[in-house]
């Protein structure tokens, strides 16, 4: 095998991997996101953990918490609407802690496959990594965030 054929195979392999990742993010449909997802970290506090529950009807429920020394020291809930189009996950909150409030965030889905997705918020830039959960339940505080 010549150096050129090895280089050509390497380039084709790299394009193939890039294509698979592009397909996994762009090709993710709304059905993929339906369910419960757990993540750790927010742009202003890496120790906050959260669960997002996306329903097939386009609604979501999120809970956030912060643990210190094995105890929950902060907790917040959010509800609203979510959508997915052209690789962009959009969330519009209509309540925070049960009270009317409205704000919106859009995330570019970078990877969505198996039981994980990665979505980037751009202002401020932050990569959210979420893993699928079988049910809407936080791990105990002593496990981590």
| DSSP secondary structure of 77-126 | EEEEEEEEETTEEEEEEEEETTEEEEEEEEEEEEEEETTEEEEEEETTEE
Q: Which pLDDT band, with edges at 50, 70 and 90, does 52 fall under?
A: very high
User: Which class for 10: exposed (0-12), middle (13-18), buried (19 or more C-beta within 10 A)?
Assistant: exposed
The per-residue pLDDT for 55 is 98
Q: Which pLDDT band, with edges at 50, 70 and 90, does 29 fall under?
A: confident
- The full set of domains in the chain, from first to last, is 3-143 (2.40.128.20)
Q: Which pLDDT band, with edges at 50, 70 and 90, does 46 fall under?
A: very high
| Rounded average pLDDT over 54-60 | 97
Is the pLDDT score of 16 beyond 90? no
Query: Which of 72, 18, 21, 26 lies closest to 47 in space, CA to CA?
Result: 72
Query: Which residues lie closer than 8 Å to 128 by C-beta, 6 or more apart?
Result: 39, 41, 107, 118, 119, 120, 121
| Rounded average pLDDT over 68-80 | 95
Return the percentage of the chain with pLDDT > 90, whole number.
74
């Amino acid at each position: 095998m010549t150096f050129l054929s090895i280089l050509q195979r390497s380039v084709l392999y790299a394009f193939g991997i890039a294509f698979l990742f592009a397909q996994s993010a762009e090709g993710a449909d709304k059905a993929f996101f339906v369910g419960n997802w757990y993540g750790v970290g927010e742009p202003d506090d890496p120790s906050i953990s959260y669960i997002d529950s996306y329903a097939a009807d386009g609604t979501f429920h999120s809970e956030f918490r912060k643990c210190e020394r094995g105890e929950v020291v902060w907790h917040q809930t959010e509800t609203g609407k979510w959508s997915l189009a052209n690789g962009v996950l959009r969330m519009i909150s209509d309540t925070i802690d049960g009270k009317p409030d409205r704000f919106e965030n859009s995330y570019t889905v970078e990877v969505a496959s198996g039981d994980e997705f990665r979505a980037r918020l751009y202002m401020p830039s932050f990569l959210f990594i979420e893993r699928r959960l079988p049910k809407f339940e936080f791990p105990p505080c002593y496990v981590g965030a």
